[in-house]
Structure 1
Amino acid sequence: MSLVEVTDLTVGFGSLRAVDGLSFRLEKGAALGLVGESGSGKSTVASALLGLHRGTGADVGGSVRVAGIDVQEAPDAELRRLRGGKAAMVFQDPLSSLDPYYAVGDQIAEVYRVHVKASRRAARARAVEVLDRVGIPDAARRARSRPHEFSGGMRQRALIAMALACEPDLLIADEPTTALDVTVQAQILDLLHTLREETGMGLLLVTHDVGVAAESVDEILVMRHGRAVEHGLVGAVLGAPAQAYTQELLGAVPRVDAPRTASAVTEEVVLEASGLRREFGRGKKAFVAVDDVSLTIHRGETLGIVGESGSGKTTLGRMLVGLLEPTAGEIKPGGGVRPDVQMVFQDPVSSLNPRRSVGESIADPLRAQGERDEGRIRGRVRELLERVGLEAAHYDRYPHEFSGGQRQRVGIARALAADPRVIVCDEPVSALDVTTQAQVVALLAELQRELGLALVFVAHDLAVVRQVSDRVAVMRRGRIVEYGPADEVYESPRDPYTKQLLAAVPALDPEVAAQRRTARRQLTAV
């Protein structure tokens, strides 16, 4: 009997068919990746394995069996025993999955006590044990910490520890590395691989990142519009995809070994920063976010700024735009939020006012520059909407009526409204699927060519940065540790930190991924 048996699964929400006739099996100790874009139905499938649609009004059909339990027919009590006991789930956002008011160890202990009739003391000991198992340093002390005291990677490890507490047969990981830096992502994927080797548990990995799947699973099932498009061994599917959609997905994946066509860079310097420093706080509690950073940006070029969370790259970007004043150093031209330097933010949802139409948001820079003729304003906004691939008629629509990629196009249109010479893009594609990501990157490149824009592209994704950049600055702890032409930085990195970042980038070839995993293990053991 297979660990997971899904037969002709359908999940509907009113008139929407989210999953449409899906069937697959997962054997004990094996790993299957569900891969697809947002809206493909993969997370809906993951929820169906634990019966999480029960009581939600969803129309679920077909058959789902997990660890011998018929999820559709099982009584509520048996379903509760399945969840966390036989099968456990790790969600995408660990911060929202953990209670902010309780210590991490207490939350793990509570899960253990629900499924195993253990004493409080034994449950706390088990919590410390599994936290130590997933690599939380000084686990006994950190078990008393609350979620906000953990980094993103540590919170995800804590969720994995909670899932492991009852020694489940199946671990369902739903986008477990989406919000993590590349090195932390590699650590989590290595951890999942090691745990599967040591415990024999099965793994169902839900991800939109084909590279993450290549690093982690034996088989891959590609989903689109709720259906299986392609299913097979990961090496076969990724090495020679049979279906056009799979080929499209793979073609959209940015690669660190594929340099882009150089921009039409001129000698004209459009922005220059020298000796930038930014501190937060005062006295002994002062924190230096950016420390002695100097750079120049030329008309028509893209400067990539790459680094992990906390490296100072976003703070640097905000200083270049004028949203933050440097503690020391100089930016030319300087003074305030400059119309010649605009910004595209990471999260297009939070950067757009939900109570105002997108047209009005795009019009803000025009009004800030003194334009008062509403006819000219509306005409210019409609031009910009069409310029970024939207429709002029979208002027009166609100942000919630757009997809993530469309909202990011709105953000780009708003940045263009002020006729800038430089656009600072702060993680502009990190929340997008690979195909949508490729479309936004292509749009930026097209605008750059036509308008002669300079771009500062801030990101933690080294593959995307390689795809778009002429020059690259690698930041760590507020400083630039490597700076030069993109080809040189990627092909012949000098700094050990740059080498570490590149070694952590997911490989699409499972054999290469295995070699890198072995190398990382050896490096950790030294």
Structure 2
Amino acid sequence: MTQTLVEVAALTVDFPVGGADAYVRAVDGVSFTLEAGRALGIVGESGSGKSTVAAALLGLHRGTGARLSGTVRVGGTDVAAAAPAELRRLRGGTAAMVFQDPLSSLDPYLAIGDQIAEVHRIHSGASRRAARARAVEVLDRVGIADAVRRSRARPHEFSGGMRQRALIAMALACEPRLLIADEPTTALDVTVQAQILDLLHGLREERGLGLLLVTHDVGVAAESVDELLVMRDGSAVERGPVASVLAAPAEPYTRALLAAVPRLDGPRRTPDPAPAPASDGTTEPVVEAVGLRREFGRRGRRVAAVAGVSLAVRAGETLGIVGESGSGKSTLGRMLVGLVEPDSGQVRHGGVPATGITDGVQMVFQDPVSSLNPRRSIGESVADPLRAAGERDEAALRARVGELLERVGLEAGHYDRYPHEFSGGQRQRVGIARALAPRPRLIVCDEPVSALDVTTQAQVTALLAELQREFGIALVFIAHDLAVVRQVSDRVAVMRAGEIVEEGPVDEVYDRPAHPYTRRLLAAVPALDPGLAAERRTSRQEAFATA
């Protein structure tokens, strides 16, 4: 008989806000069960309550002022009624959690192995030597090569994917029966994401672990779980077998969520008419890179982040740049706008060699929170480029900023509000409005939607396409999400180790990739069909076994 590992009944969570006795409801009457060895995915947009549900399974809301009602049982333990000692045994012993950002979950000053060993000692009472041996064992189990040596490394010496593997190793140290993974692959490249998802699947098969996967990426859920729970505004709107929910969603919200998911086989960008050629019969590129090279590091240990890259982008065209972390795509983007000077080669704007930051060029960054001053209103941030261009009439400034805010789907009256008062998607709209302010010819977007929900992603990419058509802007769209890049781009350049290994029209590169690296990237993109996902996982395992 299958054992019920998690039982949640009518869970409601309210968080305190503002003054006394003021609360906001984050979770509203959610119920579900999870059996041992099974995997449940909780999907939904930011603010849907999915992470709040996951935290409730470990009693992480204690001491926060939150009000909880309903029942949460994990491994037979009533989480709300558990004494502190019982709760400590639950956390790590019965259930363990893997968070989204491994850097914030790991001590930067301690060796990875020591951190894992400490967790094991606390829960098992093992000796230091036994705990160290256990740390090496679980690091080896999650695929960290040369685990004895790497256990002595500190977090900054690990890549993002290796740090996430280390967190999973820490979670496994005490042999938990349940693994709770909260957005474990959001910040990872598609190839590393595929490796982590394969690892989680292998652990389930090998150890009979129950898995609760929280994600806003429906494709990730399709790759990883048996059942899907869709949440919206704190409530569960649909639940069922993953294949059934994805193939025939019953609820309008689920259908809208799936429709917003970028797909490799989804609708393509419709090419805009080519701009009229100049009198000599050619169309001058808005931006051109010729043999760009940039190295970082000290003498004798320098690494070429960009190694001899050449490309061109014309008015009204979008060039997508894809590649894994460390491929050089962000450094290339910063050189195109003048934020980074090349060691050799040349950037040309409108055919004219450029040095430093040039008029008519703007950038939209990945994280709007860090690129907006929290102490200044969003209107003042959008006005900055206009002031830099010499505009001093405050009434004209305010009117122009109001127009820009409205143009990106906000309100002119938002001028005096601050960044913390907006959602992630709204803050990214502010960043786009700021980039549009000086009427640029070129905008470089560096991972502009990677931290956003799929519905917000779709809104932001549609906005960029609309603005491009309206103003004839040249766009460089840098991303590790290949499906998003296919939807928004006319051409795509694939970068690896500082070089462009393949470039061409987006349909040609995606449908008939010539380079093995491009084929590997495309094969790692999550599939919304669980059957296809299983086939791809088997193919990856076979390729790894024969490598």
Q: TM range, normalised to the smaller chain?
A: over 0.9
- Confirm or deny: 8 A CA contact 1:339 1:419 kept in the other structure: no
Pick from 230, 241, 256 the counterpart of residue 238 of structure 2: 230
Q: Distance in 1 between matches of 2:93 and 2:505?
A: 52
Q: Distance in 1 between matches of 2:507 and 2:195?
A: 26
Q: Distance in 2 between matches of 1:360 and 1:380?
A: 12
- Confirm or deny: 8 A CA contact 1:302 1:469 kept in the other structure: yes
Amino acid of the residue matched to residue 11 of structure 2?
L
> What SS is found at the alignment partner of 1:354?
coil
Q: Distance in 1 between matches of 2:95 and 2:288?
A: 55
The residue number in structure 2 matching 1:133 is 141
The residue number in structure 2 matching 1:302 is 318
The residue number in structure 2 matching 1:381 is 401
Structure 1 residue 256: Cα displacement: 1.0
- Confirm or deny: 8 A CA contact 1:263 1:470 kept in the other structure: no
The residue number in structure 1 matching 2:274 is 265
The residue number in structure 2 matching 1:501 is 521
Q: Deviations over 1:21-43 (max 9, x none)?
A: 01000001000000011000000
Task: Map residues 79-90 of structure 1 onto 2, 5 A cutoff.
Answer: 79-90=87-98
Q: Distance in 1 between matches of 2:248 and 2:63?
A: 42
Unaligned runs of 5+ in 2: 17-22, 276-282
Amino acid of the residue matched to residue 7 of structure 1?
A
Matched, 1:112 2:132: no
Amino acid of the residue matched to residue 490 of structure 1?
Y
Amino acid of the residue matched to residue 316 of structure 1?
L
The residue number in structure 1 matching 2:20 is none
Q: Distance in 2 between matches of 1:255 and 1:232?
A: 22
Q: Deviations over 1:331-378 (max 9, x none)?
A: 112122112111001100000111111111111111111112112111
Matched, 1:201 2:209: yes
The residue number in structure 1 matching 2:279 is none
The residue number in structure 2 matching 1:439 is 459
Matched, 1:450 2:465: no
Task: Map residues 100-179 of structure 1 onto 2, 5 A cutoff.
Answer: 100-179=108-187
Q: Distance in 2 between matches of 1:369 and 1:336?
A: 16
Q: Deviations over 1:169-209 (max 9, x none)?
A: 10000000001011000000000000000000100000000
Amino acid of the residue matched to residue 426 of structure 1?
D
Q: Distance in 2 between matches of 1:96 and 1:459?
A: 23
> What SS is found at the alignment partner of 1:84?
helix
Amino acid of the residue matched to residue 300 of structure 1?
G
Q: Distance in 1 between matches of 2:221 and 2:284?
A: 43
The residue number in structure 1 matching 2:336 is 320
Structure 1 residue 274: Cα displacement: 0.7
Structure 1 residue 260: Cα displacement: 2.2
Amino acid of the residue matched to residue 9 of structure 2?
T
- Confirm or deny: 8 A CA contact 1:277 1:326 kept in the other structure: yes
- Confirm or deny: 8 A CA contact 1:189 1:216 kept in the other structure: yes
Pick from 476, 488, 492 the counterpart of residue 508 of structure 2: 488
Q: Report the aligned-residue RMSD.
A: 0.9
Task: Map residues 350-369 of structure 1 onto 2, 5 A cutoff.
Answer: 350-369=370-389
| Count of aligned pairs | 526
Scaled by the length of structure 1, the TM-score of the pair is 0.99
The residue number in structure 1 matching 2:278 is none
Pick from 1, 4, 19 the counterpart of residue 6 of structure 2: 4
Q: Deviations over 1:474-498 (max 9, x none)?
A: 0000000000000000000000000
Pick from 286, 291, 295 the counterpart of residue 279 of structure 1: 295
> What SS is found at the alignment partner of 2:400?
helix
> What SS is found at the alignment partner of 2:371?
coil
Unaligned runs of 5+ in 1: none
Matched, 1:422 2:442: yes
Q: Distance in 1 between matches of 2:72 and 2:361?
A: 54
- Spell out structure 1 runs of 4+ moving beyond 6 A: none
Q: Distance in 2 between matches of 1:129 and 1:338?
A: 54
- Confirm or deny: 8 A CA contact 1:382 1:393 kept in the other structure: yes
Matched, 1:218 2:234: no
Q: Deviations over 1:257-299 (max 9, x none)?
A: 1222223332442111111111123431222110110111111
Matched, 1:371 2:391: yes
> What SS is found at the alignment partner of 1:204?
strand
Q: Deviations over 1:427-467 (max 9, x none)?
A: 00001000001000000000011111110000010000001
Amino acid of the residue matched to residue 265 of structure 1?
A
- Confirm or deny: 8 A CA contact 1:18 1:226 kept in the other structure: yes
Amino acid of the residue matched to residue 207 of structure 1?
T
Scaled by the length of structure 2, the TM-score of the pair is 0.95
Q: Distance in 2 between matches of 1:343 and 1:95?
A: 26
- Confirm or deny: 8 A CA contact 1:265 1:298 kept in the other structure: no
Q: Distance in 1 between matches of 2:156 and 2:289?
A: 34
Amino acid of the residue matched to residue 470 of structure 1?
D
Pick from 493, 498, 515 the counterpart of residue 478 of structure 1: 498
Q: Distance in 1 between matches of 2:313 and 2:377?
A: 34
Per mean C-alpha deviation after superposition, the further-off stretch among 489-498 and 255-264 is 255-264
> What SS is found at the alignment partner of 2:300?
helix
Amino acid of the residue matched to residue 436 of structure 2?
L
- Confirm or deny: 8 A CA contact 1:264 1:449 kept in the other structure: no
Q: Percent of aligned positions with the same letter in both sequences?
A: 76
The residue number in structure 1 matching 2:417 is 397
Amino acid of the residue matched to residue 402 of structure 2?
R
Amino acid of the residue matched to residue 420 of structure 2?
H
> What SS is found at the alignment partner of 1:324?
coil
Amino acid of the residue matched to residue 3 of structure 1?
L
The residue number in structure 2 matching 1:69 is 77
Matched, 1:182 2:190: yes
Q: Distance in 2 between matches of 1:522 and 1:445?
A: 40
Pick from 354, 359, 377 the counterpart of residue 339 of structure 1: 359
Structure 1 residue 502: Cα displacement: 0.2
The residue number in structure 2 matching 1:13 is 15
Amino acid of the residue matched to residue 422 of structure 1?
L
Structure 1 residue 12: Cα displacement: 0.6
- Confirm or deny: 8 A CA contact 1:36 1:224 kept in the other structure: yes
Matched, 1:92 2:100: yes
Q: Distance in 1 between matches of 2:107 and 2:465?
A: 42
